[in-house]
Amino acid sequence: MASAHRIPPAPQPQLYRFSPLDFIAAVLYVGLAGFFVLAGPLIAPVLRQVAPTPAAASYAMNLLFYAVVGILAIVAARRVAGRDLRVLATRPWFTLLMVPAAVIAMMILSAIVVAASGSAETSENQAGLQALMQQVPAWLMVPLLVVVGPFVEEFIFRHLLIGKLSRRVNIWVCCVLSVVLFAALHLVGREALTLPVLLPYLAMGATLVFAYVWTGRNLMFSYFVHAGKNLLAVVFIYAIPPEFYEQLQQVPA
């Protein structure tokens, strides 16, 4: 990869051995995701009794999920994250320029693959998030969607599935697994896994995989790219008046 002369990864093989915390965090991520998908309809009425609105109940479920897994992920990856931040600090201009560039590349790639498919289709996951963001204030959504959520997903799909698993499995197999599972787990249990719905997530996953591998398996770089993309989405949705956004949603693609 071209990262050798840009961001030296400061190899420390012991940081890429699976730990008990890694397994616990991964099992909780998959287990809680499956639990909320299957038991969500049963839990929602209970949450609505203590939450003022359905949006607050949905937010509480997402916050609980990411808070539990996020704490474990931060503890498990703290040494790698610290190492990667120090590496990025040695190339500050690279980081400041390449993070926005990667976000723009992700958006362009998503637009290209959606246009090539001939149809644009908003996933139920995306539509649900957009509806939630229109009812929950930004100061509550930013910690969830920009801070904790991206770190958890980069820890699971990049650090574990590529950084650590590639010590045992071919790295290109790990990269494909990362892209496919990242896309599928955002949609499974919510709707049919059709190509038009999957394509934006596949494009996002591919960009994040490239950013992670290109920078020498730098977890924090891919996290900043992921967080930057989510922050842009948050700003976009909150900056557009709800009535105008609804009109945009009704315009045929």
Tokens 């958006």 identify what position?
107
| pLDDT, position 10 | 47
Give the whole-angstrom CA distance, residue 122 versus residue 137. 22
* Contact call for residues 123 and 191 (beta carbons, < 8 A): yes
| Residues 9-14: contacts with CB under 8 Å, at least 24 apart | 9/87, 9/215, 9/216, 9/217, 9/218, 10/83, 10/86, 10/87, 12/83, 13/167
Give the whole-angstrom CA distance, residue 231 versus residue 220. 16
* Contact call for residues 44 and 54 (beta carbons, < 8 A): yes
| pLDDT, position 156 | 97
Per-residue tokens: 243: 């009535």
Give the tens place of pLDDT for each residue, 175-215: 999 999 999 888 765 556 677 778 889 999 999 999 999 99
Domain borders along the chain are 15-250
Helix (H) or strand (E) holding 126: helix 124-133
Query: E strands along the chain, which residues?
Result: none
Instruction: Give this prediction's pTM.
Output: 0.87
Per-residue tokens: 126: 């995306």
Average pLDDT over residues 26-42: 81
Give the tens place of pLDDT for each residue, 74-113: 999 999 999 999 999 998 999 999 999 999 999 999 888 8
* Contact call for residues 227 and 150 (beta carbons, < 8 A): yes
Kindly state the DSSP code that residue 123 receives in the 8-state scheme. Answer: -
